[in-house]
């Protein structure tokens, strides 16, 4: 069963976009991020910053699987153009442990993929037995664009993640000098 998410989409002018970037930049401090987000919405509701705020419900994250079948050294797995190579003795950042079992190979791959700076903030990778699950971090159709591939000794459920939906618009609110219609 897919987890359903709610999301708020904000369309605005350049000044508001700068404010949003300030909020996002504080990714290491959730308390500060929350306070900045609170101030951001306070400016919207007081009319200081013009914006269109649309609330959405029933969004879903895209996901896909790769199943290993006797995966061996030098086989590769690729997520959104980032390649990872299985090695019996991994020595590089994009290498993961093979040679013990497909279950341990899947766990090693998940750990290495989750440590990759390019994929950070884009997907989360988990494993259960020989199945690797790749899930987009942001709900919506954008996650359906993430590609997956395996070179040999396994199968990808598809060339791209699937199941991401943008949900339904619940309400649209207009703030500041922005008007509806």
pLDDT tens per residue across span 141-168 = 999 999 999 999 999 999 999 999 988 7
Burial 5-17 (b: 16+ CB within 10 A, else e): beeeebebeeebe
Are 76 and 132 members of one domain?
A: yes
Domain region containing 47: 4-59+167-175
The verdict on 136 and 151 lying in the same domain is yes
pLDDT in tens, 59-115: 889 999 999 999 999 999 999 999 999 999 999 999 999 989 999 999 999 999 999
For 49, which DSSP code? S
Whether residue 76 is contained in a domain is answered as yes
| For residues 6-27, average pLDDT | 53
Do 100 and 42 share a domain, yes or no? no
Same domain for 41 and 18, yes or no, is: yes
User: In whole angstroms, what is the distance from residue 78 CA to residue 148 CA?
Assistant: 6
Is residue 110 assigned to a domain?
yes
* Residues 105 and 135 reside in one and the same domain: yes
Whole-number percent of the chain with pLDDT over 70: 78
Within-domain flag for 180: no
User: d(Cα 164, Cα 38) in Å, to the nearest integer?
Assistant: 28
For the record, the structure tokens of 96 come out as 């993961």
171 and 112 within one domain: no
Same domain as 146, residue 76: yes
- Same domain for 140 and 73? yes
Describe the crossing of helices 14-25 and 30-45 by its angle, rounded to 10 degrees.
160
Same domain, 138 and 97: yes
What does pTM read for this prediction? 0.72
């Amino acid at each position: 069963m897919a987890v359903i998410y709610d999301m708020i989409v904000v369309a605005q002018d350049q000044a508001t976009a700068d404010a949003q970037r300030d909020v996002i930049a504080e990714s290491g401090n959730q308390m500060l991020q929350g306070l900045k987000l609170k101030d951001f919405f306070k400016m919207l509701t007081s009319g200081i910053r013009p914006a269109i705020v649309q609330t959405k419900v029933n969004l879903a994250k895209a996901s896909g699987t790769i199943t290993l079948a006797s995966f061996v050294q030098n086989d590769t797995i690729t997520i959104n153009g980032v390649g990872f190579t299985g090695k019996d003795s991994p020595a590089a950042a994009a290498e993961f442990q093979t040679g013990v079992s497909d279950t341990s190979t899947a766990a090693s791959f998940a750990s290495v993929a989750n440590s990759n700076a390019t994929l950070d903030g884009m997907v989360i990778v988990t494993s259960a037995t020989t199945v690797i699950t790749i899930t987009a971090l942001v709900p919506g159709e954008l996650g359906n664009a993430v590609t997956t591939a395996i070179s040999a000794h396994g199968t990808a459920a598809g060339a791209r993640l699937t199941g991401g939906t943008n949900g339904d618009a619940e309400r649209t609110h207009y703030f500041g000098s922005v008007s509806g219609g």
